[in-house]
Amino acid sequence: MKAVVYDQPRSFTVKEVAEPHAGPGEVRLRIVLAGVCGTDGHLHQGEFDPVYPLTPGHEIVGEVDEVGEGVTEVRAGQRVCLDNMQACGMCTSCRRARPQYCASAVMQGVNVPGGFAQYIVAPAGKCHPVDDLAPEVAVLAEPTACVMHGLDLLELRPGSDVLVFGAGPTGLVLAQLLRYVGASRVTVAAPTAFKLEVAKRHGADEIVQIDRADPGASIQRLRELAPEGFDVVVDATGTVAVLSRCVELTRDGGTVFVYGMTEEAAELTVSPYEIFRRELVLKGSFSQAYSFDRAIAALRGGRVRTEGIVTHRFGLDDYGAALAALADSACIKAVMQP
């Protein structure tokens, strides 16, 4: 089968590799769509602990095409979303129901082969049937599961005024679900006008375009919207330039929510006095845990609208172009169609 294969950072080829087969308890999926994510950009640079040779791709929709011995959960021909995280279940983090800290977790598309290939093998119990969802909706299950996990951690107080920086796929999904968990107002701030329009169509109350050349003016506009600060300021961009403005926009007693993944080496300067005096909360969210089926339920129930989010589609041979699309302001979500 054909697959994208990295042998070291920034070095990949699209080549023939051995087709995998389903063992006991496993199924083989024919990949229908695999989403390209900011994490894949970090993996390209060698960040996020990749194990080589690596086939990336962790946002996977596939069709069950081979069923291993003893599998009863799914059947051949079924369309499924794959939960790519397999925690060990035995370490202290797993025993405390915190699989996202599991040091020996198997993460398909990160430390074992993922979905930028024609086939993948996975435990049947990690496959969530989605025959009723269009593939371009289902491909957002994994990022939505991460958002759902973020909301579990955020514990938003009903009535909160929330600012979300970033109108990429996760920013757009977060902005929608924040309303359903009780935000009184959701403001989305981002540099690209058409992405903000998508946010608005999907229910954002306010949109503010960030002028990259003059961010100060945009910050002033946000200050006018919330003179005492927002209860919660979410960074869904993963850039320090944005994170460094979050504290000043947060209300006393409020929360700065670090949702985007920055470069590993990035550092943020925060005044500890301000955290102390203003009782600020600095909170992070990584990956997903026990949230995959709820994410699919939210997509199924229309609580997460996906129209306009997938903007770019590529074949495996064009993986280089798909990576380039991550940095293209015309792209919200790119997907691979192997």
State the residues that interact with Zn ion by CB under 5 A. 37, 39, 87-88, 91, 94, 102
List the Cα angle 318/17/292 in 5-degree steps.
Answer: 70
CB of 143 to Zn ion, least distance (A): 5
Nearer to Zn ion, 18 or 97 (CB): 97
Closest by CA position to 172, among listed 149, 195, 194: 195
Distances (CA, A) of 293 to 10, 97, 138, 296, 299: 34, 16, 12, 5, 10
In angstroms, the CA 284 to CA 262 distance is 12
Please give the backbone phi and psi of residue 248, each rounded to the nearest 5 degrees, phi first.
-65, -20
C-beta of residue 197 within 8 angstroms of C-beta of residue 205: no
Nearer to Zn ion, 141 or 175 (CB): 141
- β-pairing, 26-36 vs 185-190, is unpaired
CB of 267 to Zn ion, least distance (A): 24
Q: Coil, strand or helix: which one is 61? A: strand
CB of 39 to Zn ion, least distance (A): 5
Nearer to Zn ion, 88 or 153 (CB): 88
Nearer to Zn ion, 208 or 336 (CB): 336
Q: How many CB atoms lie within 10 A of CB 49?
A: 10
CB of 119 to Zn ion, least distance (A): 20
CB of 335 to Zn ion, least distance (A): 12
Nearer to Zn ion, 20 or 99 (CB): 99
In angstroms, the CA 322 to CA 320 distance is 5
In angstroms, the CA 56 to CA 109 distance is 4
CB of 333 to Zn ion, least distance (A): 10
Nearer to Zn ion, 247 or 323 (CB): 323
